[in-house]
Structure 1
Amino acid sequence: MNSKDVGLPRLIDRLAIALALQAMAATSLSRAGRNDRAVSSEDVILPLLRDLYGWPSLRNGNVDDPQTSGYDLIADGSKIAVQVTVQHEEVAKVRKSLDAFMKSRPDDSYRALYVCFLKPERVDRRALQNVIAPEGIDFSQDVHVIERHNIVARAGKVGVSRLSELVEELEKGVGIRQRYEYSVDAIAFSNDLVLTLLRGFQPEYGGGLDQKAWSSAGDLLHTYNRASWVARLRGAGRRASDAFASEAAVAIEAVRQFCTAGSDEPDLQHNAIKAWKALDIAQSNLRDYAPGSES
């Protein structure tokens, strides 16, 4: 393995990208009715939480008891449990998990429930301030909610050698194809960005507009631009990638303006749709270039 791939900054980049890919894949497949990737998130994230949060006894509680409710992972030594989810209904999911954990925890000494959200969007922690935990359960949105950026921020809690092992294990679990020459499936990233942004001006399944779609798409674009294979693209592949990133920035801004102004602004909605269509075309052009291709 190239020594540049195992320095702390590089490992942190690899960690962030692999977590983002898992979040996007699990969320997208769940919307399509496939929950296998979401279920696998429990095992994918377990080694990281065990080492980075100092829960050495953390294990998958569903292995011993498939009927476990309210949590997926449990640490008998630390007396804590973790619910891993890709759901967007944050308040409802936390309330349901807390109530179920209260009833299904091994005994009263297990007081703390952490909820780990592995999804592209940031959690609205202000909305979670109104969640009241059952008596005897410790929960606060500041302490007991874990997001991808929280995990990445703890990367320095372990040595570089151990972090390298954790990142490699994560990459294999996520399904990144090349273990020794790090690569990212740009098509998956770009496709998820396009679909995420669409929710900002087109109601999904009869629901309302996603007011955070443009922000989530911005996070995806930032991750896409940091992918190591992008820097290696040459010729037509690089031009297609640059065009996609440029159209994405324009479309994200157009959807942001529409969401900020409200749905009663037809001109802004027209601009958002037009920009999104241009982005969709750019993403189609990008599909011709596999990660790491040169021309």
Structure 2
Amino acid sequence: MKIGFTARALVSACALGAAGLLALAPVSASAHPGHDPDPPRAPRATPPPALLYRSGTQVRPHADAPALPRLSARSWLVADAGSGEVLAAHEAHRPLPPASTLKTLFALTVLPTLPAGVPHTVRPEELAGIGPGSSLVGVAAGRTYRVADLWRGVFLSSGNDAVRVLAALNGGWRATAARMQEKARALGALDTRVLSPDGYDTPGQVSSAYDLAVFGRAGLRNADFARYCGTAEALFPGAGGPPYGIRNTNRLLTGADGVARYPGAIGVKNGYTTEAGNTLVAAARRGGRTLVVTVLNP
């Protein structure tokens, strides 16, 4: 099996728990340039899907493949974004706080409901409840923004203020959390529990490397999502003056602050909170092949 975007085809809750929508596939000798994953492939033997639920690192490398690097992350997964095949994983279904990588699910849920060009004047109550220490892009009450401006604030600056306003436009904070939960289930992401749509540390809110890979892959298939998550720099409307520059916090994409830009990087979303540590959903494209990677708490 491969990453899918619906759980309807699975027969029962037991089947969902045992299988999920990702399958572990052999690792090729090179994880860099490769053939286009879209054309159909001949079936290949794979271990039982339940393997992804086992503890430890799960991988079936070819004999000439390089050894896996040692990683300190509590959970991680590498998958082919085109075919959905998992190349390697470690504790793929371990429930962990996702931090702002949960904004991938927020975008998948809310992007289709709000046209990008619609203007909105922010009301003070829409900015209420932002958690202490939250990342902000600088949304100001009384200022009019286009929906596209707010999305750039979400993807580049990880702005919880922008998330609050977009959630208000989507029916409110609790309604958005409920819709995100429904979306996760529809995508077959069963490890995720949504309580705070911005990913802010909240007791009981968790996701997994598996689920975040599903969100990342689904997002890359949405043109708006892909454009926002791959934007390195943009201008954001000023509260009472000219617009100011914002830069994507994903340094693998921007090459900022001493981190070399990763060749072929195309986004997706990084995050950090006290409970989650650093979290990352990333994707890179080389030679017509795209890989999606999730890393939780290195």
Q: TM-score range by the shorter chain?
A: under 0.3
Q: Which has the higher strand share?
A: 2
- In the superposition, the TM-score normalised over structure 1's length comes to 0.24
Per chain length, whose mean CA-contact separation is higher, i.e. which structure has more relative contact order (CA < 8 Å, sep 6+)?
2
- In the superposition, the TM-score normalised over structure 2's length comes to 0.24
Q: Which has the higher helix share?
A: 1
Tell me which structure has the larger Cα radius of gyration. 1
